[in-house]
Structures are given as structure tokens and as C-alpha cells.
């Protein structure tokens, strides 16, 4: 783990961060990518463009005042949708791409944005797709999906039984059990990214088997694919959001101004992919003083009319830690 010879030879006086060698500009193009989430009739949904298999994105341009405003601009251009809450996800460097003057580095900065589907303006090419179209194994609201025991588990076990060292096989079985709640492990909805990466590593994701790979790739696990690594970015967003709703009041970005507690509960359940205990959920929300009654009740559907609530925006000043679990 020592510095290799070349590095040592090159070392001269260390330079402070501002005294960088300016002999040559090392430029890259910068891409902004958005995972825009809203609740639709089909569940927790993500805004897609193109053939419904791409996240809205575009280059960071000189005219953009900031990264976030650049992102807002592209999403509005491509989907006619205004963004509210925005949070950065991750930055990564794509493989080199061939540009006009030889190879060109591309930096991609991904964001998670939350809105309401009705915020759209006009009817451009815009598509809401349930995120469970892309990750059918992530929806546990009606129990463990059959796809796990029917497809995911056997194929992961096959992968974990491939030739190799026994310790490698044991490690693979262990990771699979932990990520998907097999054997004695319990399901943890926040591991969405680990699950995707595990399937990817096992060659069970369509995007993973491309070009000159091995001779017989196993058939991929069901789930709509996306271009490039957009599905991985979506998995990152889902994991982040599932984690965040537990300690920050971000669900309300997805709610209409006025809602019932059951509607709020259904939203949380849709995001986390699992059911919650109704009486406890209501107590938790009211006890945290996240909402206040409007005084109105629902008149519409069947059943006893429910009180209507609105989010207490004041909690954003009062406390940092407050969420739905």
C-alpha cells in the first residue's frame, strides 16, 4: 500500500488548492439528471421522457444560474413540469464519450425532486410511470411479491452456487438473504439500491448484459429497463426517499394542500412499499404535531367522513427531526 515510484518522482512542492497547475484546462461536460417523484393513480410514480425509459436530463449550461436552476429548466423544457422540493443524490463520471474533439469526460449530477402530478403545465411529452414497473420486487404492500420466491430467489441462489471458492459462495448467499429478506432475515425497504446492485452483479438486470459479455447470460428478472444507468439512479432515489420520510417531513411535498390521515398513510405506504398500522400511524402523526385540522371533513366517498388536515409548515422551523416513523 505504498505510494508507487512514479507518484513519488512527480512529487514536488505540494500546492494549495488555489495554486493548481494551470498549464492546461481539464474540462468536462456536466449533465443534470432528475428523478421526479409524484403520487398518481398508479402509485408512486416517476417522470419519464423519451420512450418512457429515460429520466429527464440535460447539460449544465453557461446560462444556468445554478445547478438546481439548470435542472429545473431542463425538466420544464422536457416535461412542462415545475419542480418544488429538490435534493442532490449523487455525482458520477460516465465512461469517456466520443465528442467532437476526441474523447470527452461527462460528469452526471443526479437529483431527487418531489412534486404533485397536477403541477403540470400543458401537455407535452410527459409520462408518469409507477416505480414498481421498474422494481416489481419492491412492492410488499400486499405481502411478499411472488416474483421474489418464484424468480429472484432461485436465480440468486443459482448465482451463489456458481463455481468458485466456498467463501465466495457463502458471502453471496448471505448478501442475497440479507438484501431480500430470505431465510431468517426480515425485509428492509431501505435496501432498494443494494438489491438492484446485487441483481446487477448477478447478471439478472437487462442493462447489465450488453456487448461482448459471457456466452449465455441468464434471462433477466422482470422489471422495465431504462437507458444507460438511469434505473440505478432511480433505485438510489427510492432508497433515499424511503429512508428520508422516517426522519424528515418530506411526504407532504407529495400531498395536496388538504388531505385525510388515511390518504397520508396510503402515500407513506406507497413509498415505503409496506403497510403500516393505522391506529399507531395516526397517533404518531398527531403527536408529532406535523398536521393541523382544517375543521372540514370529507363528504365524498363511502364510510364515516374523515377530518381534513393540512401540513403545519411551521414545523420546518421548529424541528429538524420529524417524520413518519
Partner DNA sequence: TCAAAAGTGTTATCCTTACACCCATGT
Partner DNA sequence: ACATGGGTGTAAGGATAACACTTTTGA
Residues found near DNA in the complex (CB under 7 A): 260-262, 277-280, 282-284, 297, 301-307, 325
Minimum CB separation of residue 216 from a second copy in Å reads 28
Partner from DNA, a second copy, none binding residue 106, C-beta < 5-8 Å depending on class = none
Q: Alpha-carbon distance 119 to 286, whole Å? A: 28
Cell digits of residue 136: 416489481
d(CA 189, CA 242) in angstroms, rounded, equals 7
> Smallest distance, Å, CB 17 to DNA?
38
Q: Grid cell 431501505 — which residue?
A: 190
Quick one: what does residue 139 bind among a second copy, DNA, none, with the CB cut-off 5 to 8 Å set by partner type?
A: none
The helix (H) or strand (E) run that includes residue 308 is strand 307-311
Distance of alpha carbon 118 from alpha carbon 135, whole angstroms: 24
- Pick the stretch among 91-99, 211-219, 234-242, 253-261 that binds a second copy (CB under 8 A): 91-99
Nearer to DNA (CB atom), residue 143 or residue 279: 279
* Nearer residue to DNA within complex by CB, 127 or 284: 284
* 272 lies in the binding site for a second copy (CB under 8 A): no
Residues facing residue 44 across a β-bridge: 39
Q: Does 103 bind a second copy (CB under 8 A)?
A: yes
Residues 225 to 264 in contact with a second copy, rule: CB under 8 A: 227-228, 230
User: Cell digits for 141?
Assistant: 404492500
DSSP secondary structure string for all residues of 86-142: EEEEEEEEPPPEEETTEEE-EEEEEEEEE--GGGB-S--S-EEEEHHHH-GGG--BT
- Which segment (38-46, 93-101, 215-223, 291-299) binds a second copy by CB under 8 A? 93-101
Q: Does 79 bind a second copy (CB under 8 A)?
A: yes
203 binds, among a second copy, DNA, none (CB under 5 to 8 A by kind): none
Which long-range contacts link 85-92 to residues 24+ away (Cβ below 8 Å)?
85/113, 85/114, 85/115, 85/250, 85/253, 86/111, 86/112, 86/113, 87/111, 87/112, 87/113, 87/240, 88/112, 89/35, 89/233, 89/236, 89/237, 89/240, 90/233, 90/236
- Which of 45, 57, 265, 272 touches a second copy (CB under 8 A)? 57
What is the nearest approach in angstroms of a second copy to the Cβ of residue 110? Answer: 10
Binding to a second copy (CB under 8 A) within 283-312 occurs at none
- Residue 317 in contact with a second copy, rule: CB under 8 A: yes
Which C-beta is closer to a second copy: that of 118 or that of 300? 118
In terms of CB distance, is 208 or 255 closer to DNA? 255
Q: For residue 273, how many C-alpha atoms fall within 13 Å in the half-sphere facing its CB? A: 24
Contacted by 307, from a second copy, DNA, none: CB < 5 to 8 Å by type: DNA
Among the listed residues 171, 201, 292, 296, the single contact to a second copy using CB under 8 A: 171
Amino acid at each position: 500500500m505504498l505510494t508507487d515510484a512514479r507518484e513519488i518522482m512527480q512529487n514536488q512542492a505540494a500546492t494549495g488548492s488555489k495554486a493548481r497547475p494551470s498549464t492546461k484546462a481539464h474540462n468536462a461536460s456536466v449533465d443534470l439528471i432528475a428523478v421526479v417523484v409524484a403520487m398518481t393513480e398508479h402509485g408512486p410514480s416517476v417522470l419519464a421522457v423519451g420512450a418512457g425509459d429515460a429520466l429527464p436530463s440535460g447539460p449544465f449550461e453557461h446560462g444556468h444560474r445554478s445547478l438546481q436552476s439548470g435542472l429545473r429548466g431542463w425538466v420544464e423544457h422536457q416535461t412542462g413540469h415545475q419542480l418544488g422540493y429538490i435534493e442532490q443524490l449523487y455525482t458520477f463520471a460516465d465512461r469517456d464519450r466520443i465528442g467532437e474533439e476526441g474523447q470527452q469526460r461527462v460528469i452526471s449530477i443526479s437529483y431527487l425532486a418531489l412534486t404533485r402530478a397536477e403541477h403540470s403545465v400543458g401537455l407535452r411529452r410527459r409520462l408518469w410511470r409507477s416505480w414498481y414497473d421498474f422494481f416489481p420486487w419492491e412492492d410488499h404492500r400486499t405481502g411478499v411479491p411472488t416474483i421474489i420466491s418464484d424468480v429472484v430467489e432461485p436465480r440468486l441462489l443459482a448465482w451463489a452456487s456458481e463455481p468458485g471458492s466456498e467463501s465466495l459462495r457463502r458471502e453471496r448467499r448471505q448478501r442475497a438473504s440479507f438484501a431480500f429478506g430470505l431465510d431468517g432475515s426480515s425485509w428492509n425497504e431501505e435496501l432498494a439500491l443494494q438489491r438492484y446492485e446485487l441483481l446487477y452483479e448477478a447478471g439478472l438486470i437487462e442493462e447489465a448484459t450488453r456487448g461482448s459479455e459471457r456466452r449465455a447470460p441468464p434471462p433477466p428478472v422482470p422489471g422495465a429497463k431504462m437507458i444507460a444507468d438511469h434505473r440505478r439512479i432511480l433505485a438510489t432515489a427510492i432508497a433515499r426517499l424511503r429512508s428520508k420520510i422516517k426522519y424528515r417531513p418530506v411526504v407532504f411535498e407529495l400531498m395536496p394542500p388538504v388531505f385525510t390521515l388515511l390518504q397520508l398513510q396510503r402515500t407513506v405506504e406507497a413509498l415505503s412499499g409496506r403497510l403500516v398500522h393505522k391506529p399507531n400511524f395516526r397517533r404518531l402523526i398527531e403527536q408529532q404535531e406535523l398536521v393541523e385540522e382544517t375543521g372540514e371533513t370529507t363528504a365524498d366517498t363511502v364510510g364515516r367522513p374523515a377530518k381534513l388536515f393540512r401540513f403545519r409548515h411551521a414545523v420546518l422551523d421548529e424541528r429538524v427531526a420529524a417524520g413518519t416513523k
